[in-house]
A and B are shown apart, each in its own frame.
Chain A
Amino acid sequence: MTVRFHRPMILACAIALSGYPACAEQIEAWRVFVADHSEPVVRAFDLREGKEVDRFALAGAARLHRSQSGRVVYAVQRDANRVQMIGTGIALGDHGDHGDITIEAPALLDAILAGRKPVHLVERDGTVAAFFDDEGIARLVSEHAALEGTEEPRDIASSAPHHGVAIPFGVHLLVTRPHPSDPGALPVGLDLFGPDGAPTGDHAPCPDLHGEAQSGNLVAVACATGLLVVAPGPERPDIRHLPYATGLPEGKTTKLVGGKGLRYFLGNFAARTLVLIDPTQAEESFRPVELPTRVVDFATHPAKPRFALAFTEDGYLHRIDVIAGQIDRSVRLTAPYSMDGHWSDPRPRIAVAGPLIVVSDPLAGHLHVVDTETFEPTGAIAVEGEPFSLVAVGGAGETH
């Protein structure tokens, strides 16, 4: 089916005065990449047409991440012991007074990060770091090298296998420190590694570390006691601990997402409570947002910074006004999805494609598409299998 965009996909044929072609076509294009929950396949959809444009067979079921540039999708296959990469085929170029877009076919790249049990993957400033839990090793590669297939990954080893994460931060790398006596427990803090790949000796305690996100030039990592907030420093990253506010209900954050356009973080906290976090505020740095039922997934809105999104187990998508700190719109999209059961059962996930929000509905085999402003469904795309993890890439620009 065709999804309704409020803005035409081909916006204009602009006439430039100098230095550019006389007629540069303005094009907006969005692709959604969807991993199946039970099959080792990723499907790519053209969002405007609502049609599958390609599909990629993987080694195992995947969770998807997109690079900041949108040129690469990373498919993390925990049980197949690898991270595969898909070139999205869409590239945006910033030329100051205008932007270019090039659109090609998506393609599975040759680059693979292989190792035992990859789970967490973080991409920052063009470098991706996948952490392999059963090895305790982070493998890093640049997005450019992944696209070109020109570089072997660089390994950075923590002290032992554990459920960890590695976060590129300029020339430094932040790597989790495993629990000293219980390999199955969550990490106990962050260690800083220098440009030479060796530990600097800097350590920031963070009990039960799980969940990381970036917003602006900040990185936040969730702990049982609060957040570690990492900011650029004159010589090395500046890491400080932000304790949870005293007025919050019982809980802790284990998943974080970061705002774009506005610098804030959104985290889970209790089953029906999210927290909006402004780490630079002296007061009200944590603002709880109550949800009607338990949260299934949540996301920030990269195109409309005022809004964040949450999907709850009653089948509703909610729009959160991050300035007011409350839900301002809700829409029913799916049948209920209970949070009881296995953590990895197929449940809806959220992606944002410019003005449109896309929600996977694994049990119905659909992608629901919602307009951000009206917050009404604009269509649904039928998908084979159980559409689960998804990311959107694209944008607008001139073609020459």
Chain B
Amino acid sequence: MIPTEDILKTLEMVQIENLDVRAVTLGINLMGCADGDSDRMLHKIRQRIHSVAGHLVACCDEVSAKYGIDIVNKRLAVSKISSLLEAHDPSVCLPLAHTLDEAARGVAVDIIGGYTALVQKGFSDGDRRLIDSIPEVLSNTERVCASVNVAGTKAGINMDAVLLMGRQIKRVAELTADKDGFGAAKLCVFANIPEDNPFMAGAFLGPGEPGTVVNIGVSGPGVIKRALERLLESGRRVDLGTIAEEIKRTSFRVTRVGELMGREVARKLGVEFGVVDLSLAPTPRIGDSVGEILQTMGIVKIGAPGSTVAVAMLNDAVKKGGLFASSSVGGLSGAFIPVSEDQALSRAVAEGSLTLEKLEAMTSVCSVGLDMVVIPGDVDAETISAIIADEMAIGVINNKTTAVRLIPAPGKSVGEKAVFGGLFGQGDVVDVRNAGTSSRFVAYGGRIPAPLHSLKN
């Protein structure tokens, strides 16, 4: 019998502290839809998505009702679309993206990831077609998300791809200028992209994954913040070891919710259960913020000295608690710091305490990178590429995933705000210092070789 106080604690987590399952992402391999006839291929894609994902939302709602816990986002991640484009000319790209968009709408899913290319060592014809089409696709579809892996620890950094992606990010933002460049919020550039990530915009079904699989993204910044507040109010003598322990315990509880509900959704859908992604994913809601956890830990101004070590400790403790709670952990699994989606981080940018450089430092010890960062619309493409290259270097050298999701908001400059709405939130424009002074470096192109795997100092 579960003790009453444990029932009350769980109820508090759910009802007051914003505990939910952030994402149930259904991975679908579309390679079986490959066909030299584009109309037939698009028809097969529609059929495949409808047959596998037709009941996804109903299953999620049923499991959600049983446990009384929201599943906030139901999403699809398909196998990389660049492979389907190998045998087609560029004119197929937009109709294919529309097919994905409509198929997602047809199964009541708000986002579909997998408009993806993996080019860390070079481009295939399909990769080129996909990357070239990204601005048109993201500005003409509602639900499609794109991702491009340009670097890897074993491959190095494809600087030709980095250069190209800087231009594409800028172009996407310009084509969606009426929404403050929102199209760029649906585009991620990666190093060491995970094959089983359930979080958008970077989710896709990797080549080593099952044909269909459910991956789960848990949530819980609010739960961890409240647990730390209770610890600090308890009157107990608290040191940083105690705080790490409390984060670990709370992460265990949060992960368990994802594990339980994810396995049940997978069983109901008749597909494999993949992983629980332990990432702490904030939302723009007050009380659901990674930044607020750092403040509760004693970093009053996020971005101040101490911010990096605090987020490193948080990230590590979250993983330790989560790993014990689930036998199948994967994806990104770390604390996210997506600026516009986290009201405390967003405020820190507005107040000037959190700079691009400090964000970059923090991303070297947490997940996932420079995420949802709004920069001035007049920053040149080469500078965006240089920012991407810096972030890729952190991932490649440290053997971890890093990503860049920058929004160069057209017509906006420092002191102004870009408003996206919903889970994407709103963000103050972050200053990019020394813009325009790295162009010669990134313009060399080529591939930065893979790093040493020994002599690590």
Co-assembled chains A and B: no
Please list the residues of chain A having a beta carbon within 8 angstroms of any beta carbon in chain B: none
Please list the residues of chain B having a beta carbon within 8 angstroms of any beta carbon in chain A: none
